[in-house]
Structure 1
Amino acid sequence: MQERSSVAELANLLRRELNRYSPGEKLPSSRALVERFRVSPVTVSRALAALAAEGLVVTRPGAGAFRADRPRPRNRPGDTSWQEVALSAEPPGEAVPRSVDASGVLTTLAAPPPGVIELNGGYLHPTLQPERAMAAALARAGRRPGAWGRPPTDGLPELRAWFAREIGGPEGAVAASDVLITAGGQSALTTALHALAGPGAPVLVESPSYPGMLAAARACGLRPVPVPADTDGVRTDLLAQAFRASGARVFVCQPLFQNPTGAVLSAERRAEVLRVAREAGAFVVEDDFARRLVHEDAPPLPPTLAADDPDGVVVHICSLTKITSASLRVGALAARGTALERLRAIQVVDSFFVPRPLQEAALELVGAPAWPRHLRTVATELRARRETLLTALRRELPAAAEVGHVPYGGYHLWLRLPDGTDEWGLAAAALRAGVAVAPGRPYFSAEPPAPHLRVGFASASGPAELEAGARRLRTAFPDLADG
């Protein structure tokens, strides 16, 4: 059982037993609870903290936990119906609805219920995360002189230099002065959208595309305009048409292991994307989220678009989060010219700076001998998991195992479902069968051309869970088992 499930279960058990104790009476010691429920001391501490937050118990250092004298009164539910009008009423001339659908993002962030196999997650399973290396890095970072002081608003110089080398390659195409440290990739993406396009403006996006980017664009008051993509990346002939037809000045793309298709932008189209954007006087926001999630059998990776762009067309985004942990939210923005100044101003206003201990920990981590070993381990594991899941899906669901592109990086497969398939119904039935998958609809900013399913292989515990997940999908939707 995962730690988060154990904490919730123990808190529920203790909550039900509170009536055995009088107000102010001491509860059993933490050691007694550990022995009785066969959980760790950390689980006991977190469960008691949850009850204390509800006002049901009081913890006293050195004395233990006690039943609260009286339960904390519940807040009287008020009438919030007025907010529906205030949040939805659009003044004359407002071009974009203000409501934001975050369901596609929440799908990848929410922890699945106990017993459900997670094939819709966007992060590495804890067994793939460098937990020991991160803990050691955080401990060393906390002892650095000035680690708890105020950092430079642009980020620590050493960390900016490390990201510049990662983005610009050995030729040094990106300077440390071109880089801003951000609180992860999503924060960087939102900052870029705020900086580069005004409210109501169109922004070109790949179709299909990452739901978190679509939600961020709409939250910024922008209008996503889809540009179809295939196994070689965005269709550059249609990209040029979209710039002319929409008047957009921003194109957001994931050239490497695109989410959800897994496609890599071909060499011919890389040059064409930059040419088309330059002629349109537009920016290319390069979301390089998966470069460190390369698989063991991958050919040499192409450089970033930013490394081939001396003119400031590309605004580059990358992060350490995907290759480490959802909680290590340290990323980078790279840009040149006036755009960099605007990005800097917006980031300072939005968040001041990324906490210095987190930046120091990131520096310690990427400079440790464990870092290259971790990258090699993940590359090997992701390749093995990809093949395990692909084989299991082809065996269990031959009618749904049409994968448009088998990626050599990233953490998911993009399945083309038979025409007429109810992808939402399939996802709901799969959850009832004990496996979480992502329907394809949230990945399209307009009407999807066909039903799809995104199935991941990084958030499961290992090959056995991946094979079990495929079997549960067969149970949930037996029609897809007919080849």
Structure 2
Amino acid sequence: MYNSSSDRIVSALRERIAAASAGAQLPSTRQLVAEFEASPVTVQKALRTLIGQGVIESRPGVGTFVRAIRTARPNDYGWQTAALGSPQHRIPDSSSALRTTPNDVIALHSGYPDKELLPERLVRAAFTRAARSEAVVSRPPTAGLPELQSWFASELGTITPAGVTSPVASDVVVLPGSQSGLSTLFRTLVGAGRPLLIESPSYWGAMLAAAQVGVQLIPIPSGPRGPNPDDLDRAFAQTGARAFYAQPNFTNPTGGQWSAELGDTVLGIVREHGAFLIEDDWAHDFGITANSVPLAAREDSGHVVYLRSLTKSVSPSVRVAGLVARGPARDRILADTGAQAMYVSAALQAVALDVVTQPAWHTHLRSVRQQLKSRRDMLVTALREYAPSTHLEAVPHGGLNLWLRLPDETNLHQLTRDCEAQGVIIAAGDDWFPAEPAGRYLRLNYSGPNPGAFANAGRIIGEALDAQQPSQRPVVNQPTASAPS
């Protein structure tokens, strides 16, 4: 099954190329148009695909030819081993959540929402307007466009309770995505070799950033209702840590949300130990049956450093995030971001600001809320019907994921392989633990493409799990041989 006419032509030409000799000339575009009954644009697209794959080459004014395949020559890069030495901090491999997959599979592994959940019309229009503006040829301030700084500050200020000073534009630093922000925060607020408290399980990208900086992670057990404050208090006292990384709203991966009481207790513990709470509000725009209420809106003494990304809710191509910090910490963060990236593209900042200040932005978010609810419920229903051995401790009130506990004897690697063989891509939960996994888990993204296939995905996951369970058939006692007379 081909996804397009171009794919059909690519497949047919690859078979012809495999049987041809190096340097053989392909038919002209006009001949291919007639042969495949396709438009010239479609044929040219297929030829560009084959050129990109390195199997043919175009000679302007002459034609298109089968590329000569050169015999691969092994290269000796051993000298680099001595030049580089051993890495000071071993960087973990990228999570399975970043895998790209074919279009014909059921993808439940990704950490990004499907294109249908993005404000595509707003984004395209914003890029068009930005292309005609000074943003494409100007260098913005290191801290970000003042208008975008003001927007991030006002978003947090609208939910600031009485008695707490609202953030101002000068408290905001605009970043090229939250991942770079985490690296900056861990480098400036924690430092290499020093301890950082982190919920367990937690966002794998935070663990990647910590490894890159050389930060020592101290896991704090956490679940759908958040961490135990006593565990947090004890860890601060025992380790001398000066920061705690957390996601109070719609945690990745569990989907959990802290209660207001827990948030106040955690803030009290952080203040008592003279520490920072690094609050990652990655899912601010993905509330379903609850809204994100950041702890940063209830604290103005500088103990909370707040991070909010627009990449997932606006577009993966708009890597823009806002960081709110106060006091000397903000100065140190700004110095680090300036040293790392100097500034964030003015064009991307202009696009982000354009999208989130359109009246249609809030209409879009209301639509996303309804779509996420429908998708979440469809996947929950499918799993309860077809994979009853999975355990969902709580249906999340927001975010993009379900966090499933599996039977302890489950072979996760075998499960992922078996599901992939049946066309379902899933993410094993091990990537989200900063230390040894506390059990067998799956993180399933319900915001991916093709939600109509969720029932089939649940069936495949259930069958793959059942195949690993011991047989339930009763054991038949065989008669024993009679003793010789």
In the superposition, the TM-score normalised over structure 1's length comes to 0.87
In the alignment, the residues of structure 1 paired with residue 228 and residue 38 of structure 2 have an alpha-carbon distance, to the nearest angstrom, of 57
Name the residue aligned to 1:354: 344
Partners of 1:48 and 1:57 within 8 A in 2:
no
Match of 2:138 among 140, 149, 153: 149
Name the residue aligned to 1:231: 224
Q: Does 1:29 align with 2:17?
A: no
Alignment of 1:193-342 (within 5 A): 193-295=186-288, 298-299=289-290, 301=291, 303-342=293-332
| 1:280–1:416 CA distance, 2 compared to 1 (3 A) | same
| 1:50–1:22 CA distance, 2 compared to 1 (3 A) | closer
Shift of 1:292: 0.2
1:407 alignment partner, SS class: coil
1:293 alignment partner, SS class: coil
In the alignment, the residues of structure 1 paired with residue 166 and residue 26 of structure 2 have an alpha-carbon distance, to the nearest angstrom, of 64
Alignment of 1:81-230 (within 5 A): 81=78, 83=80, 89=86, 98-104=89-95, 107-171=96-160, 173-230=166-223
Partners of 2:10 and 2:49 within 8 A in 1:
no
In the alignment, the residues of structure 2 paired with residue 86 and residue 337 of structure 1 have an alpha-carbon distance, to the nearest angstrom, of 41
| 1:458–1:16 CA distance, 2 compared to 1 (3 A) | same
Q: Does 1:466 align with 2:454?
A: yes
2:151 alignment partner, SS class: helix
Match of 2:446 among 415, 432, 457: 457
Shift of 1:385: 0.6
In the alignment, the residues of structure 1 paired with residue 115 and residue 44 of structure 2 have an alpha-carbon distance, to the nearest angstrom, of 21
Deviations, residues 429-470 of structure 1 (Å, cap 9, x unaligned): 1111211111111111122222111111101322x1111211
| 1:45–1:384 CA distance, 2 compared to 1 (3 A) | same
In the alignment, the residues of structure 2 paired with residue 253 and residue 118 of structure 1 have an alpha-carbon distance, to the nearest angstrom, of 27
Which ranges of structure 2 fall in alignment gaps of 5 or more residues?
473-485
Partners of 1:398 and 1:480 within 8 A in 2:
no
| 1:417–1:26 CA distance, 2 compared to 1 (3 A) | closer
Q: Does 1:387 align with 2:389?
A: no
Q: Letter of the aligned partner of 1:212 in structure 2?
A: G
In the alignment, the residues of structure 1 paired with residue 8 and residue 344 of structure 2 have an alpha-carbon distance, to the nearest angstrom, of 34
Partners of 1:25 and 1:67 within 8 A in 2:
yes
Name the residue aligned to 1:67: 65
Partners of 2:314 and 2:352 within 8 A in 1:
no
Q: Letter of the aligned partner of 2:36 in structure 1?
A: R
1:292 alignment partner, SS class: coil
Name the residue aligned to 2:477: none
Figure out how many residues of one structure are paired with residues of the other and give that number: 466
Name the residue aligned to 1:94: none
In the alignment, the residues of structure 1 paired with residue 5 and residue 206 of structure 2 have an alpha-carbon distance, to the nearest angstrom, of 33
Name the residue aligned to 2:74: 77
In the alignment, the residues of structure 1 paired with residue 355 and residue 195 of structure 2 have an alpha-carbon distance, to the nearest angstrom, of 39
Shift of 1:368: 2.1
Partners of 1:270 and 1:305 within 8 A in 2:
yes
Name the residue aligned to 2:483: none
Name the residue aligned to 2:364: 374
Shift of 1:156: 0.9
Shift of 1:284: 1.0
In the alignment, the residues of structure 2 paired with residue 178 and residue 39 of structure 1 have an alpha-carbon distance, to the nearest angstrom, of 55
Deviations, residues 258-277 of structure 1 (Å, cap 9, x unaligned): 01111111111111211211
In the alignment, the residues of structure 2 paired with residue 403 and residue 30 of structure 1 have an alpha-carbon distance, to the nearest angstrom, of 58
Partners of 2:23 and 2:68 within 8 A in 1:
no
Shift of 1:24: 9.4
In the alignment, the residues of structure 2 paired with residue 21 and residue 7 of structure 1 have an alpha-carbon distance, to the nearest angstrom, of 24
Name the residue aligned to 1:93: none
Further displaced range: 171-180 or 332-341? 171-180
| 1:302–1:83 CA distance, 2 compared to 1 (3 A) | same
| 1:348–1:372 CA distance, 2 compared to 1 (3 A) | same
| 1:383–1:98 CA distance, 2 compared to 1 (3 A) | same
In the alignment, the residues of structure 2 paired with residue 142 and residue 65 of structure 1 have an alpha-carbon distance, to the nearest angstrom, of 36
Partners of 2:114 and 2:447 within 8 A in 1:
yes
2:338 alignment partner, SS class: helix
Partners of 2:29 and 2:43 within 8 A in 1:
no
Name the residue aligned to 1:417: 406
Shift of 1:131: 1.8
In the alignment, the residues of structure 1 paired with residue 46 and residue 328 of structure 2 have an alpha-carbon distance, to the nearest angstrom, of 48
Further displaced range: 167-176 or 74-83? 74-83
Q: Letter of the aligned partner of 1:451 in structure 2?
A: R
| 1:359–1:2 CA distance, 2 compared to 1 (3 A) | farther
In the alignment, the residues of structure 2 paired with residue 460 and residue 59 of structure 1 have an alpha-carbon distance, to the nearest angstrom, of 40
Shift of 1:56: 3.6
Partners of 2:135 and 2:350 within 8 A in 1:
no
1:147 alignment partner, SS class: helix
In the alignment, the residues of structure 2 paired with residue 196 and residue 314 of structure 1 have an alpha-carbon distance, to the nearest angstrom, of 11
In the superposition, the TM-score normalised over structure 2's length comes to 0.87
Shift of 1:124: 1.2
Shift of 1:149: 1.7
| 1:9–1:183 CA distance, 2 compared to 1 (3 A) | farther
Further displaced range: 220-229 or 13-22? 13-22
2:254 alignment partner, SS class: coil
Name the residue aligned to 1:444: 433
Partners of 1:319 and 1:330 within 8 A in 2:
yes
In the alignment, the residues of structure 2 paired with residue 17 and residue 314 of structure 1 have an alpha-carbon distance, to the nearest angstrom, of 62
| 1:269–1:161 CA distance, 2 compared to 1 (3 A) | same
Partners of 1:168 and 1:304 within 8 A in 2:
no
Deviations, residues 380-429 of structure 1 (Å, cap 9, x unaligned): 000001111001100001111x1112111011111111122222221221
Further displaced range: 189-198 or 28-37? 28-37
